[in-house]
Amino acid sequence: MGYYLGIDTSAYTTSLALVNEQEELHWEARKILAVPSGERGLAQSEALFQHVQNLPCLTAEIPADLWRDIAGIGVSTAPRPVKGSYMPVFTAGYGVASSLASALNVPLYRTSHQEGHLAAGISSGKLTEIQFLAIHLSGGTTELLQVEKKEPGKIQIDLLGGTTDLHAGQFVDRVGVRLGLGFPAGKELERLAQDADPGAASLLPSSVKGFEVSFSGVESAAQRLIDQHVPAAQVARAVEGCVARTIAKLLQTGIEKTGLKHCLIVGGVASNQFIRSELNHRLNHKAQLYWAEPEWSRDQAIGVALLTSQGLNEKIITVSMEK
């Protein structure tokens, strides 16, 4: 049996994953980059340095008996599959992936971080549609996408809209850090919000104009709630409620404009259970929502490995047929 190794080095996570020829996850490991207490992020240079430190450690965790069966290696080389999309952190993963592919004499498959998120969501969410809408909801991306699965290993993505300023994850992290939570703040904020009153979800407004959303104004409003000594749990739930209403309105616009009713939601913020519940409730009877499994929502190399398996297997089949 052949295995396909995926490598992803995003802004805050180093990740490796192995899938088999049946696109089943066989092994994975990831490490969150360390952010100093009180800080709201990392410079790319520091994130790149940490990836360089993490990659040898994670690579050493790959079960020794699997190395001889690795048939291909995939890596995310850019944030998105568009010209000019670039972040230095992805060079760390590419350097290791290309070296391993050369050493093992196996093909190297290049993809993007966003395609990896979508592939992980398609697989774990059991989405079979060829065309659909997608929301990529994270610290570095808040986008509404029109997606088409064109060929194995490739996903065509057309940007319909998204944020004009802060991303949803940045909104969550900025408020979370102000509340004394660690960075990234998503998991802790979700736990904190569980103690909120039912009406707290409506404490903050949402800003949506057509295909454009904004979180900078509501982030300032959330900071004012903290200044007014509103309980932390209430503020946390208000943030979740704002994100849920904002994305519901954005998706509704996408559905009306495109006629597509199958919607995939991926990204770290999409792992929040309250946001999932609210979106399911608000879009009930209007759309069919598909969700990546929570651990497959966050930054990970699983989707990269899946795309590598699909893309390289298609090439092998095509060459065989030509012969």
Domain co-membership, 48 together with 70: yes
Q: What tens digit of pLDDT does each residue of 96-137 get?
A: 999 999 999 999 999 999 999 999 999 999 999 999 999 999
Domain co-membership, 77 together with 180: no
C-alpha angle 99/139/130, rounded to 5°? 75
Range 103-122 burial, b when 16+ CB lie within 10 A, else e:
ebebbbbbbbbbbbbbbbbb
Give the pair of three-digit tokens for residue 296.
Answer: 């497959």
Percent of the chain with pLDDT over 70: 97
Asked if 215 contacts 165 with a C-beta cutoff of 8 angstroms, the reply is yes
Domain co-membership, 134 together with 273: yes
Total domains present in the chain: 2
Q: What tens digit of pLDDT does each residue of 188-227 get?
A: 999 999 999 989 999 999 999 999 999 999 999 999 999 9
Nearest C-alpha neighbor of 72 from the set 320, 304, 323: 304
Asked if 276 contacts 270 with a C-beta cutoff of 8 angstroms, the reply is yes
Asked if 235 contacts 224 with a C-beta cutoff of 8 angstroms, the reply is no
Please give the Cα distance from 184 to 32 (Å, whole number): 9
Domain co-membership, 282 together with 306: no
Q: Which domain holds residue 247?
A: 128-291
Domain co-membership, 178 together with 204: yes
Domain co-membership, 148 together with 268: yes
**Local confidence band at 1 (pLDDT 50, 70, 90 cut-offs):** confident
Percent of the chain with pLDDT over 90: 94
Q: Supply the pLDDT for residue 315.
A: 57
Domain co-membership, 12 together with 95: yes
Domain co-membership, 316 together with 221: no
Nearest C-alpha neighbor of 263 from the set 64, 127, 143: 127
Mean pLDDT of 264-276: 96
Mean pLDDT of 284-311: 95
CATH of the domain at 64: 3.30.420.40
DSSP 47-114: HHHHHHHHHHHHHHTS-GGGGGGEEEEEEE-SSSSSTT---THHHHHHHHHHHHHHHHT--EEEE-HH
Q: Supply the pLDDT for residue 11.
A: 95
Domain co-membership, 63 together with 200: no
Please give the Cα distance from 107 to 96 (Å, whole number): 14
Residue type (1 letter), 81: P
Asked if 179 contacts 235 with a C-beta cutoff of 8 angstroms, the reply is yes
Q: Supply the pLDDT for residue 318.
A: 36
Please give the Cα distance from 234 to 104 (Å, whole number): 53
Domain co-membership, 139 together with 221: yes
Domain co-membership, 65 together with 142: no
Residue 147's DSSP bridge partners are 132, 157
**276 has pLDDT over 80:** yes
CB atoms within 10 A of CB 6: 32
Please give the Cα distance from 40 to 176 (Å, whole number): 9
- Rounded to whole angstroms, what are the CA distances from 88 to 11, 13, 52, 170? 9, 14, 12, 20
Q: Across all residues in the chain, what is the average pLDDT?
A: 95
**42 has pLDDT over 50:** yes
**322 has pLDDT over 70:** no
- Rounded to whole angstroms, what are the CA distances from 82 to 112, 127, 156? 9, 24, 10
Domain co-membership, 234 together with 309: no
Q: What tens digit of pLDDT does each residue of 138-175 get?
A: 999 999 999 999 889 999 999 999 999 999 999 999 99
**44 has pLDDT over 60:** yes
Please give the Cα distance from 152 to 179 (Å, whole number): 44
